[in-house]
Chain A
């Protein structure tokens, strides 16, 4: 083990952090939006919407992220309709496919977290709010969301870490985020140990920072 290489590699790997965090942020936003939509679909009275949402969720939770990523990045080009569509300039970009896959995947997990949080709410509160003449919007804004946030934060913190780890798969479709850079350094200088352990240190620091921030948020919401 060449210890000085860590000092050399870690700054180089930091160059990949913006891509990793960008993918993470994008995927989380898409995941929450779509996840809330999926959760709404399951609660409506239209059965077909519920089936679609349930099918989507178990499909994305029951298959490897790598398969999803490859199916979207390498797979979609198989269809002429997609190659000729307006979306193709985006869908052939590696960063867009990584963002899309991570977001679609996270949506399935996030919708389960939201559903779990909603189950934790007391029914009586909503009825009371309705009796006080709260509109649906106000009900959501003042009664459901604040409690939902508080209940869901621990499990959502987990989801954030899972998506962060998922971003490493972007390296397999040529994106030079942290893992991609580490792989390049490892093979260029034939120093896999130093390169991958340096990358591990960078990821751990990000995990600690994110966990710390989420815990602060959790504490903030408790009061």
Chain B
């Protein structure tokens, strides 16, 4: 049993560890880019009715469609799309986009939609009087946002962002279906090669579970820390 998970040629320990690293990199990258785009979407909502409708459409679609479908669309569709665009510019060589890149793109789009909603909810908790006061003091809109809104926004959005991180972490497992060699994919390969599917899926589940628990703890600590700052 133990030798199944040893490192080196005999066991699957190193494969799983590499898979875990890919999972974590994927999750961290998509979280960073996704929440940043989500923040921008929230700001875009304020720029008139048309952009608000556009953002709302984006958020509704991305939240209503299964994540797996979005990942399939990017993974199987983008290659054709990019090649068609390139061909219209006269570039006909075969373009190969990495699976990791497409997976990251899909998860980023999903995370952006979810975090736009979190930021929207958080922004509503900040009294409009603050922005008005800032304007009266001669703050530019950018300065108002950076110095007054954003710090409060991040505090209020923290629990919601924590949830998004947990959802994203679990969604990265879907990427295994497009053969990106992350934790779930490596577990599937090991499961098939050793005829011990339950063992490997249980271990994968345990690893995801541990990361989830640690993340939850970290979010709680962060919330508590921020709460103290707020009081003082």
Contact = CB atoms under 8 A, between A and B. Distances in A.
Interface string B183-227: 010011001000111110110110011001100100000000000
Contacts of A203: 64-66, 69
Contacts, number: 124
A69 to B, nearest CB: 9
B72 interface: yes
Contact of A192 (B76, B173, B204): B76
B61 interface: yes
B202 A71 contact: yes
Contact of A64 (B77, B81, B170, B202): B170
Contacts of B212: 61-63
B98 to A, nearest CB: 17
B65 A200 contact: yes
A59 interface: yes
Nearest to B206: A63
Interface residues of A, number: 42
B170 A193 contact: no
B148 interface: no
Max count, chain A CB within 10 A of own CB: residue among B66, B170, B176, B208: B66
Nearest to A204: B64
B73 interface: yes
Given A66-B184, A78-B198, A204-B61, A182 B69 contact: yes
A186 interface: yes
Contacts of B188: 70
A66 B176 contact: yes
A111 interface: no
A160 to B, nearest CB: 12
B191 to A, nearest CB: 7
A200 to B, nearest CB: 4
B87 to A, nearest CB: 14
A204 B59 CA distance: 12
A38 to B, nearest CB: 17
Given A172-B177, A186-B72, A204-B65, A67 B204 contact: yes
Closest 8 CB pairs between A and B?
Answer: A75-B198, A64-B173, A62-B212, A168-B66, A192-B76, A71-B201, A207-B64, A165-B66
Given A70-B201, A208-B64, 5 more contacts: A67-B208, A71-B197, A196-B73, A200-B61, A200-B69
Interface of A: 58-59, 61-68, 70-71, 74-79, 161, 164-169, 171-172, 179, 182-183, 186-187, 192-193, 196-197, 199-200, 203-204, 207-208
22 contacts: A59-B209, A63-B170, A65-B170, A66-B173, A67-B204, A67-B205, A70-B191, A70-B201, A71-B201, A74-B197, A75-B197, A75-B202, A161-B64, A167-B66, A179-B68, A186-B76, A192-B73, A192-B80, A196-B69, A204-B61, A204-B64, A204-B65
